[in-house]
Amino acid sequence: MDSTSILLGCKSVGNTAFAQRNYGKAIRTYTQGLTLLPSNIDLLSNRAAAYLNYGLYSLALHDAETVLSTDPTHEKCLYRKVKALWGLSRYHKAHQFTEKFKIPSLADKAAITLSQSLGHIKASTLMSLPHQARHEIADYRGPIEIVPIPGKGRGIVATENIPVGSLIICSKAFCIVFDQDVQDFKNFHLRDKSVELEHTDALGGLIYDKLQLDPSLKSELLKLYTGQQESQSSDDITLTIRNIIDYNGFTSKRDDSLISMGNPNFAGLWILPSYLNHSCLDNNANYAVYGDILVVRAVKNIPKGDEILISYWQATVPGRREVMKARNFECGCRACKMEDEEDPLIKAEIAQLLQQIRESLVSPSSDLPATTNRNFDRVQRIVKLRKKKYGDTNMALLTPEVEMVGAALSERHDTKGCIFILENMHKVCKNNGFVLSSVYQAMNLSSHWRQMNKVEEWIEWAEQFRKNVIAACGDFDDGLIALKIDPECSAIQAQTDR
């Protein structure tokens, strides 16, 4: 077979693999053809496209620039060079390039990504992104630095005062897998297609393949925590990748909707966010995942020098202390201290009260008003037991049982009862990982106080609602769009009437 036939064969096989999303095979096939003719423009251009889809931006840039050195007007490689520059976070250079070469299809997008790289990223833009997809949103890094943290290894601290609501990090995944990616991995790499594969398994396999194709990526990846001392570091790269994912990866299942913003299953690794440390309740920042984009926003004013903390597991997650222990760290937040210090008798009584509520909801009596009254008495007792010392750490108020009692009170228009529950829930939720919940709590409280013709309280909670929206989304007006809040709600009307 002559070289021309081999080149055509490599191009055909590579294109088929590309169309099937088997980018690793496509890259290797194009590379095989390029060993015969290193300057073949079609193979270089196609390989650049495959590199882009695999997140290998340096290699994509090299191939695109190689083509452009021979054919400066090659339309596809002009486009692919810009995409590679975006992937490498070189937004200013990408913007200059689109202006210089008059690429109309990319000019507006290049200007937008340049603006985003300066932190101008709307919450409404992020929340409108498709969940199981990769997006062209710019990376942003606020006034932060990675430093040693006593007792924690490394962490991220503020280098300037960071106001509440400020965007701190917007980061594109180093590697991420969605449901389709897991299926693709099974199809391309496993002989037995019936094998049950976790998302983290597919993630590890894809990271391994990326490192084989571009070993230069190891330098930033291997800086992440592996759970081992430096002297114990393994020479087995697959084990190292597994450990890195276990200790640094972000994952979601369908029931983790608060953190993942409703995402279905995914597993991903983000480099910079991996340095963020944990607090169950006393976190000063919140994170959310939109497709392959992870965003961190300040939910409190963060003074210069303070460590940025997020919640890996919120204080309501069962078994989180055991998970932390297995990972060799402790939290020490107010919720954890409460669990360690609280009188066991109080814990037992609260557990019993929640159990009684749960049983009454599973097997309701014919006298629903009486059942609701008894359950409300139980909620009041839960509040009283912790009011003096743990009023703002009372996780029992965030259980489904208490929420259902509130819903029953709302159905019978018991405004005072709703206010009691919502105000006590809000004490726990504001300015931490439950900030989104606090938005709706404040909105409903404003409405309830308005129904009672209590103007001062109505306006007070409307103002708290405004603060909570800013903490969650960074900007009030954009936050209303992002959270799809009815502009006719009473909390907004209070802002208008003032």
Summarised one tens digit per residue, pLDDT across range 360-401 is: 988 767 788 899 999 999 999 999 999 989 999 999 999 999
Going by their DSSP bridges, the two strands 175-178 and 266-269 should be labelled as antiparallel
In a shared domain, residues 320 and 343: no
Q: Encode pLDDT of 195-246 as tens digits.
A: 889 999 999 999 999 999 999 999 999 999 998 655 445 678 999 999 999 9
The confidence score (pLDDT) of residue 280 equals 93
Q: Does residue 127 lie within any of the structural domains?
A: no
Task: Clarify whether residues 380 and 447 are in a common domain.
Answer: yes
343 plus 325 within the same structural domain: no
Is 58's pLDDT higher than 60? yes
Q: Does residue 129 belong to any structural domain of this protein?
A: no
Q: Which of residues 294, 329, 364 is at a domain's end?
A: 329
In a domain, 133, yes or no: no
* Residues 228 and 362 both lie in one domain: no
- With a pLDDT cut of 90, the percent of the chain lying above it is 79
pLDDT at 254 over 60: no
Q: Any idea what the CATH number is for the domain that residue 229 is in?
A: 2.170.270.10
CA torsion, points 409, 414, 416, 419, in degrees to nearest 10? 40
Domain count, the chain: 3
Which amino acid, one-letter code, is at 436? L
Residue 96: give its domain's CATH number.
1.25.40.10
- Res. 441: pLDDT tops 70: yes
Residue 216 lies in a domain: yes
**pLDDT, greater one: 291 or 233:** 291
Residue 346 sits in the same domain as residue 379: yes
pLDDT band at 498 (very low <50, low <70, confident <90, very high): low
In a domain, 292, yes or no: yes
Mean pLDDT of the chain: 91
Same domain membership, residue 300 and residue 228: yes
Domain boundary among 301, 329, 357: 329
Domain extent at residue 362: 337-497
Residue 1 confidence (pLDDT) above 60: no
- The yes-or-no verdict on residue 463 having pLDDT over 90 is yes
Q: Is the pLDDT of residue 115 over 60?
A: yes
Q: Are residues 192 and 292 in the same domain?
A: yes
Q: What is the rounded CA–CA span in Å between residue 64 and residue 347?
A: 63
What is the reported pLDDT for 494? 65
What pLDDT, on the 0 to 100 scale, is given for residue 497? 57
The verdict on 305 and 450 lying in the same domain is: no
Instruction: Give the pLDDT mean for 454-458.
Output: 93
Residues 226 and 366 in one domain: no
84, 117, 150 - which closes a domain = 117
Same domain, yes or no: 113 and 251: no
Residues 245 and 379 in one domain: no
390 and 487 assigned to the same domain: yes
Q: From the centroid of its chain, how far is CA 385?
A: 35
